A and B are shown apart, each in its own frame.
Chain A
Amino acid sequence: MEKYLSAIILAYIVIVAVKNPLFFSPETLFDMIRSGSGVMLLALGVLLVLVSGGIDVSFTAVAIVSSYLSVLTILNLGIDNVILASIIAIAIGTGLGAINALLIHYLKLPTLIVTLGTMSVFHGLMAVLFGTKSYPLGQMPDSLANFGSANLFTVNTESGRYGLTVFLPIVVAAVVGIWFMLNRTLLGRSVYAIGSDEESASRLGISILKVKLFVYCTTGGLAGLMGIIYFSELKYVNPTSLVGTELMVIAAVVIGGAKLTGGEGTVLGTILGVVTVQLFDKTLVFLGLSSSWNDLFFGSVLLASLMVMYRRQRLADRRNLVFVAS
């Protein structure tokens, strides 16, 4: 799956580059890294959930709720510190994730419907209890705004100065961490195990509840961190944004080869999926197409890769006389 997706990405890059050489500039690259950082964090969480055999649509609400509450907290405390804000957001996100995990584990219902419910409850309750006042640049904590424009280094070109965002090391750390956990630890292998077959995994002595708590808490924590990065990057704290884009993130992870039936999915595939989304998002202008074409391109690539992926599975199943409930 990764090879196939890499081929699509390469072909697309070649087409764009031939059509418009301006595409190859540090500006485009840095811009994509900056705006893709948040999505990448969310996508890692979604990957974990998909590998464990579930689907979570509440993570955008978790991101907004935890980071908005964290911003309110540091505004009220008067401590203007982005690290403290991140810690609070991650803590709240983890807590909300735990609620998801407990509901999913004890209700034994489709995770989509459970998280659809928690999404509305989390976001609705926050808006009812704490309001939906937004904080523009002048009113939001300065440390967040500075964090959003901080750069590792800057490059001077004819058209101006461009910096590589400080989000990059955070995202790289998260990617490496999740990769290591999924592939090199017993806990990570348990996530794959319960995704493939919960019954067998439980007979192996894996605690389903513990693994699910881990999966949904990590997803919540990543979402909380993403919320802070999101507000910092936009330099605008708006508690009504982001919610509603969750299906796009799930689609990005699915395009990378993670299967909804669980037990399959790689970190590399997820990275490629996010890159695909970002490419269509940022570079269709280089082809002279308006952003109206985003969804059409993305939807077609998603459906094409789903068709390739599941057609192969279907043929294999038929050959082995496996009749799965499809």
Chain B
Amino acid sequence: MNTFRNLVRADRNFNILAVLTLAVVVTMVAVLGDRFLSGSNMQSMATQIAEFGLLALAMGLAMLTGGIDLSIVAAAVLSAIVCAKFLSGDILTITDSNSGLVMGVAILAALVTGVLCGLLNGLLIAKFSIPPILATLGTFILFTGVGMVITNGQSVAVALPAFANIGIATFASIPMIFLIMCVAFAGLAFFLKYTRNGRRIFLYGENSVALRFSGARNERLILVTYAVIGLLVGIAAIIMTSRVNSARVGFGDSYLLQAILVVVLAGFDPYGGRGRVGSLFLSLFMLQSLQSAFTIMRLDPYMKTFIWGAMLLTVMVANHILNQQSAKRPVAALPPQAVPKARENVGVQK
């Protein structure tokens, strides 16, 4: 019993989220029944979640460092445009024999574009000390501008039908792109937990000055972090292109607000240093359940906007109240075995 209590206390945020998700899913099943549980709904949920999940993961990584990335959607759209350009036959002529090669080049081009976009952000933040929110505001406008100049505001169509298979393909009736997203989540969770740079990201978010004095190379860390963000964005762009079969400026604008919502909902501290990939996965799942329920119920898009905003504010108010309560609780009241544990994990855990 004691261990259970400690477990609950250890990560309250995660537990609240798990209960909340369960409540949402149970309500959905109770209200919508088979329409929610049906295989086709599950499959469409898994398909829709993929590209958005990757963008949310990228946003979460930026928030762990105490930053924010306003340019993720713009960078994803730019990468998708580059990808679609290669697939449209404008740059490389497509014949029957080289379609595989063209697809490979297009995928590589999207990834490279994503990473370059991320590196530019990292460079501005690390080498020029521009606050992340301003640097990414600038690159958001710049990436949109580059996309506009390339496409003239038109949509770029994919001329290679085989490319759409990426978005449709399933493995044991689970959509392939959902599996790609899961791999990205698992990979990032591993990176954050077991690699040196991963642990340092948490410390950077908690106290970057302390990290600098501990001898770490802060600037390189930020460059690496934003390059990883760019890589995630590039993967999202490939999924986006294959699902829509075209790319244009302005696609997915609503993702930015939703990505921030999901990350804050998952208990990431916007000031940096706290956040769990597992929580992010849960909150993503919860939001997608709500989203598909809204679709089944044919809800007004503005009603959705309102609900997202209200949820964001509610979560923040709730977090604020909870944090105040835990701050009031006297330290002596903690169970004795919890104290050394807390000391051991200072600045890095949770």
CA distance A311 to B270 in the complex (A): 25
Report A49 CB to chain B, min CB distance, Å. 13
Are B145 and A293 in contact (CB-based, < 8 A)? yes
Question: Is A296 a contact of B146 with CB atoms below 8 Å?
Answer: yes
A36 to chain B, nearest CB (A): 18
| Interface status of A119 (Cβ within 8 A of chain B) | yes
- Cβ-defined contact, B302 with A244, below 8 A: no
Residue of A nearest to B70 (CB): A247
Q: Is B278 an interface residue (CB 8 A)?
A: no
User: Which stretch, A7-15, A81-89, A110-118, touches the partner chain B?
Assistant: A110-118
State which residues 269-300 of A face B: CB under 8 Å: 290, 292-300
**Contact of A116 with B137 at beta-carbon distance under 8 Å, contacts A293-B148, A296-B148, A323-B212 already known:** no
Do the beta carbons of A323 and B209 come within 8 Å of each other?
A: yes
Contacts A113-B316, A117-B312, A247-B140; is A311 near B128 (CB within 8 Å)?
yes
CA gap between A132 and B70 in the complex, in Å:
28
Q: Are B302 and A292 in contact (CB under 8 A)?
A: no
Among B105-149, those with CB < 8 Å from A are 124, 128-131, 133-135, 137-146, 148-149
Q: Are B320 and A109 in contact (CB under 8 A)?
A: yes
- Kindly identify, within residues 305 to 327 of chain B, every residue whose CB is under 8 Å from any CB belonging to chain A: 305-310, 312-313, 316-317, 320
- The complex places the Cα of A55 from the Cα of B137 at a distance, in Å, of 12
Q: How far is the CA of A124 from the CA of B304 in the complex (A)?
A: 8
Q: A302 contacts which chain B residues (CB < 8 A)?
A: 137-138, 141-142
Chain A: minimal CB distance from B42 (Å): 28
CB distance from B123 to the nearest CB of A (A): 10
Q: Does A174 contact B (CB under 8 A)?
A: no
Per-residue contact bits, chain A 286-326, to B (CB 8 Å; 1 contact, 0 not): 00001011111111101100110011011001000001111
For A300, the chain B residues whose CB sits under 8 A away are 142, 145
CA distance A247 to B300 in the complex (A): 25
Question: How far does the Cβ of B295 sit from chain A's closest Cβ, in whole Å?
Answer: 17
Q: B145, A298: Cβ atoms under 8 Å?
A: yes
Chain A residues whose C-beta falls within 8 Å of the C-beta of B264 in the assembled complex: 113
Complexed CA–CA distance, A325 and B140 (Å): 24
Question: Is there a chain B Cβ closer than 8 Å to A121's Cβ?
Answer: yes
A125 is an interface residue with CB less than 8 A from chain B: yes
A43 CB → nearest B CB, Å: 15
- The answer to whether A251 touches B141, judged by C-beta atoms less than 8 angstroms apart, is yes
Is B208's beta carbon under 8 Å from chain A? yes
Interface flag for B68 (CB, 8 Å) = yes
B155 sits at the interface (CB 8 A): no
Q: Is A128 on the interface with B (CB-CB < 8 A)?
A: yes
Pick the residue among A112, A251, A261, A324 that contacts B68 (CB under 8 A). Answer: A112
Cβ of B153 and Cβ of A292 under 8 Å apart?
A: yes
Given contacts A117-B309, A127-B300, contact A109 B145 (CB under 8 A): no
* Contact-size category for B: 35 or more
Q: By the criterion CB–CB under 8 Å, are A310 and B303 in contact?
A: no
Task: Establish whether residues B309 and A124, one from each chain, have CB atoms under 8 Å apart when the complex forms.
Answer: yes
Interface check B284, CB cutoff 8 A: no
Contact check, B137 vs A251: say whether CB atoms are below 8 A apart: yes
Contact A120 B148 (CB under 8 A): no
Specify which of A117, A118, A119, A326 is in contact with B129 (CB 8 Å cutoff): A326
Residues of B within 8 A of A112 (CB): 68, 133
Contact residue among A128, A294, A311 (Cβ-Cβ distance under 8 Å from B306): A128
A132 to B300, CA, bound (A): 11
Contact of B142 among A113, A118, A303 (CB under 8 A): A303
The answer, yes or no, to whether A250 is at the interface (CB within 8 Å) is: yes
Do A303 and B145 touch (CB < 8 A)?
no
From known contacts A292-B152, A295-B142, A295-B145, infer whether A132 and B302 are also in contact, taking CB-CB under 8 Å.
Answer: yes
Contact A113 B320 (CB under 8 A): no
Whether B148 contacts A250 by the Cβ 8 Å rule is: no
Does chain A have a CB within 8 A of B271?
A: yes
Q: Which residues of B contact A119 (CB under 8 A)?
A: 309
Judge whether B257 is part of the interface by a CB distance below 8 angstroms.
yes
**A251 cross-chain contacts in B, Cβ below 8 A:** 137-138, 141
Interface size class, chain A? 35 or more
Chain A residue contacts of B90, Cβ below 8 A: none
Q: Is A260 an interface residue (CB 8 A)?
A: yes
Cross-interface CB contact of A127 among B124, B253, B302, cutoff 8 Å: B302
CA distance A123 to B300 in the complex (A): 13
Given that A113-B312, A120-B305 are known contacts, is A292 also in contact with B148, CB under 8 Å in the complex? yes
CA distance A121 to B140 in the complex (A): 24
Q: Are B131 and A120 in contact (CB under 8 A)?
A: no
State whether B312 touches A294 (Cβ < 8 A).
Answer: no
Q: How far is the CA of A55 from the CA of B270 in the complex (A)?
A: 14
B310 contacts A121, C-beta separation under 8 Å: yes
Interface centre among A107, A114, A117, A122 (most CB of B within 10 A): A117
CB distance from A66 to the nearest CB of B (A): 17
A75 within 8 A of B: no
A248 at the interface (CB under 8 A from B): yes
In the assembled complex, the Cα of A116 lies from the Cα of B259 at a distance in Å of: 12
Whether B170 is near chain A, meaning CB under 8 Å from some CB there, is: no
Question: A103 an interface residue at 8 Å Cβ cutoff?
Answer: yes
A254 at the B interface (CB under 8 A): yes
Whether A293 lies near B149 (C-beta < 8 A) is yes
Contact B129 A313 (CB under 8 A): yes
Provided the pairs A292-B149, A303-B139 are in contact, do residues A123 and B302 lie with their beta carbons within 8 angstroms?
Answer: yes
- CB of A161 within 8 Å of the partner chain: no
Which chain B residues border A122 with CB–CB below 8 Å? 309
Least Cβ–Cβ distance between A7 and chain B, in angstroms: 19
B138 close to A107 (CB less than 8 A) = no
Chain B 280-309: CB-based contact to A (< 8 A → 1; otherwise 0): 000000000000000000001011111111
Min CB distance B71 to A, Å, is: 10
B33: min CB distance to chain A, Å: 26
Is A108 in contact with chain B by the CB < 8 A criterion?
yes
B233 contacts chain A at the CB level, 8 A cutoff: no
Contacts of B128 in A (CB 8 A): 306-307, 310-311, 314
List 12 interface pairs A-B (beta carbons < 8 Å), by A numbering.
A112-B133, A113-B316, A116-B309, A117-B316, A121-B310, A248-B141, A254-B137, A292-B152, A298-B145, A299-B141, A302-B142, A326-B131
Q: Which 9 residue pairs are nearest across A and B when measured between Cβ atoms?
A: A120-B309, A124-B306, A296-B145, A295-B145, A299-B142, A127-B302, A299-B141, A124-B305, A117-B312
